Structure 1
Amino acid sequence: MNPEDPLAQLKDIHLPETGGWWPPAPGWWVLAALCLIALIALVWAWQRHRARTAWKRQAKAELATLSQQMCNDPAWYGDLNRLLKRVARQTHQNRYPESMTGDEWAAFLLETLPKDRIASRPTAEALVAAAWQPKPAIAPRNALAFASLWLEAQL
């Protein structure tokens, strides 16, 4: 090598060092912000859905409790009727089912059953009247079967 040769003093081409992973490029920041916004929106929508359907979960839980506490007591039939009215108030708000009593309430229960299900008017009438009778005319098992059939159609 000739020390006076200017080409000999040149160094080989070297690549610059990589930028590393931090800080990320602006596109990654935008993507992260969009993902965060989407996650917040999903959580918010899920919470709204849970809040709107809380009454369904409560109705199912109360029906399960009533089925475990099944007895031929007018208070039990009253609790079952109150459960049905609460669900009816949620599903048929424009018909004001909470103000219905007696034959009107029994007719409403039969009317809102699915058309492919067979339900007898005496069962519905006996369920409605059982809350006020000292000795109810309907067996608790039959009343619970009718109530769960009706609730299944509404929920």
Structure 2
Amino acid sequence: MTHSTKPQARILVSACLLGRPVRYNGSAKTLAHDLLARWQTEERIVPTCPELEAGFSTPRPPAEIQNAQSGDDVLSGQAHVVEDTGRNVTALYERGARSALATALQHGCRFALLTDGSPSCGSRFIYDGAFAGRRHHGQGVTAALLRQHGIAVFAESEIERLRDLLP
């Protein structure tokens, strides 16, 4: 007699939350949480770093979305992602978002746990584009694209809410 187990829901997770030093400044933003550790043991986690997947190096200049409320504005061509050097890196952020989406779809991820504040992964807030540390409600380019494709996106501060929604 064979018995099968129902596959666990997979979760796309920002690599920096998993302790990988991939952020713009070469650091990690490790999320030390029992749920994340359990999901790793259960092999639910699919890591991603949209910026590295787009071809950025670590470290790299900080970037913010300018003239926008959210990554949706970038995806619709109404806003840009710009480094503090003035370099327009919109196309790379869009490429990274498409790569993260492809990874999520390939692995059947219906959920994502992403780093808030990032111009890619922010899901509750992003910075206002002035490089002055001011933030506002909004989402990054990757978070916006994932949501446009029906993937539920959560910030690291919402991990318990994610747990409550997992099948």
When normalised by structure 2's length, the TM-score is: 0.25
Structure 1 or 2: more strand by fraction = 2
Structure with greater Cα Rg? 1
TM-score (norm 1): 0.27
